[in-house]
Structure formats: C-alpha cells, structure tokens
Amino acid sequence: MIYVIGIGPGDIKGITIEALEALKSCDIISGYKVYVDLVKDFLPPKNFEVYPMKSEIKRCQDALKFSLAGKDIALISSGDGGVYGMAGLMLEIAEGTGQEIKIIPGVTAANSAGAILGAPLMNDYVTISLSDLMTSWEIIEKRLSAACEGDFVICLYNPASHHRPENFKKACEILLKYKSPETPCGYVRNIKRSEETHEIMTLEKIKTCGKIDMLTTVIIGNSQTYISNGKLITPRGYKI
C-alpha cells in the first residue's frame, strides 16, 4: 500500500488523527529531510527514506517499487498532499500497475495561515503558486489578473526564493493594477513552527517586505476585507 499523507503545517498538533495512524502503520516514511525531521521524533523506529529537492519523480518511482515488494510506504508532504504535493504525481506514476494508493488529507498552508491572521478566507478565494519552475510566468500572470477580476481573496504559495527573488514583487505590481494600495494583506512565515512570525499590512507595504520567502504564505484580501483588532476579516455577508 502507498499512502500519500499531508502532515499539516509542521507541528504535531496540526497532524490529523487519520494521518498519524497511517504514519505509525507504515514500514517506510519517504520525504524531504525537512518533512522527515518534523515527524520522526514522535514515530516509532522506522526506515526513513530522505530525498533532496527536485527528486519528486524518483520518490514516487521508489515508493512504487517498495510497495510492489510488499511494504507499506508513506509519501509525506507538508500541508495537504493534493495541494502542490505528491498525490497527483504518485497517481500518474502508478497508472496501470494496479497498486493501491490511499491519499490522506492534511491541513493546508492556506487554512493554517488564515487562522493565524484571522478570518480572511471566509468568502471565495484562490491559491496561486508563484514558482515558475513548472508553470510559466506568463500563465501565472494571467491567473493573478483573473483572480483580481473576480475579486477573490488570493493566497500565494512559494512567493519568493533565492533563485527568483523578484517574483513576489512582480506579482504585487500586477495586483496593484486592480487593487487599492491599501488592500489589507498578511503573511505567516514558518507556520506552526518554533520560528513562526506573522504580520498584517497593506498591499503597497507587503510588496517591499523583506521577510517573504519560500517558508512564507501570503494572503491578499479582496475589496471587502478589513482589519479589526489586529485580524484580517473577509465578511461572508451575514446580516448583523
């Protein structure tokens, strides 16, 4: 059996009971080092298969081999395995093999960041990754513009890295063509981990914030989002 498991944002309290039970039952835990380090301390002794970044295809191919050899293996992703995680790729690689795959959901970065910042996701929202490794920047630009046209709250994943530090600033410049510079926004870095930090500010200010990186999730409000008592709120529309 292959389990694709979302381990949530990072703290053991953010892992679902179903995910924890599956992790304990597996013979092998497979993942990037940062993810393995998050779970190994509270699991019984296991065979941990640790992989570097950009090894997603090999991870899934190896998982299939282990499973066909009779082992139960867990492919772990932070957040949810079906949101920028391993679920889709594992299903593709296992096509035609008859191998059983179970996908166990996890708490996403969007949900976790939203809870820390207040209630910004109460109405319709979209998630957009700013990584252009597998999606062209041209497509990302179109998605940002379309989300603004629809007045969605926007949750940005993978906003900036050492190799593409300007992507977040470029994204904000696109958003500012449609949104007010005073649009409420917020970021959370190292969600539910010991180094967690967060801040609420305007779209104009967050564009030049130097704390945005790959460990950060950013939420951009819609035209109705506001700040109250240090929290982001996007009204659902209830009459009060």
- Domain ranges in the chain with CATH number 3.40.1010.10: 2-104
Quote the strand ranges of the chain, DSSP E.
2-6, 28-32, 47-51, 73-77, 101-104, 118-119, 125-129, 153-157, 184-189, 197-202, 216-220, 226-228, 231-233
How high is the pLDDT of residue 165? 80
**Across 230-239, average pLDDT:** 92
Quote the strand ranges of 25-182, DSSP E.
28-32, 47-51, 73-77, 101-104, 118-119, 125-129, 153-157
pLDDT for residue 240 is more than 80: no
Per-residue pLDDT tens digits for 122-158: 999 999 999 998 899 999 999 999 999 999 999 999 9
Alpha-carbon distance 210 to 46, whole Å?
39
Q: Which residues pair with 217 in a beta bridge?
A: 188
Is residue 114 classed as helix, strand or coil in its secondary structure? Answer: helix
Domain 109-233 part of CATH 3.30.950.10: yes
How high is the pLDDT of residue 185? 98
| Class of domain 2-104 as given by CATH | alpha beta
How high is the pLDDT of residue 183? 98
The token duo for 183 is 């649009």
Instruction: Say if residues 20 and 48 touch (Cβ distance below 8 Å).
Output: no
- Domain ranges in the chain with CATH number 3.30.950.10: 109-233
Per-residue pLDDT tens digits for 174-228: 999 999 999 999 999 999 888 899 999 999 999 999 889 989 999 999 999 999 9
How high is the pLDDT of residue 131? 93
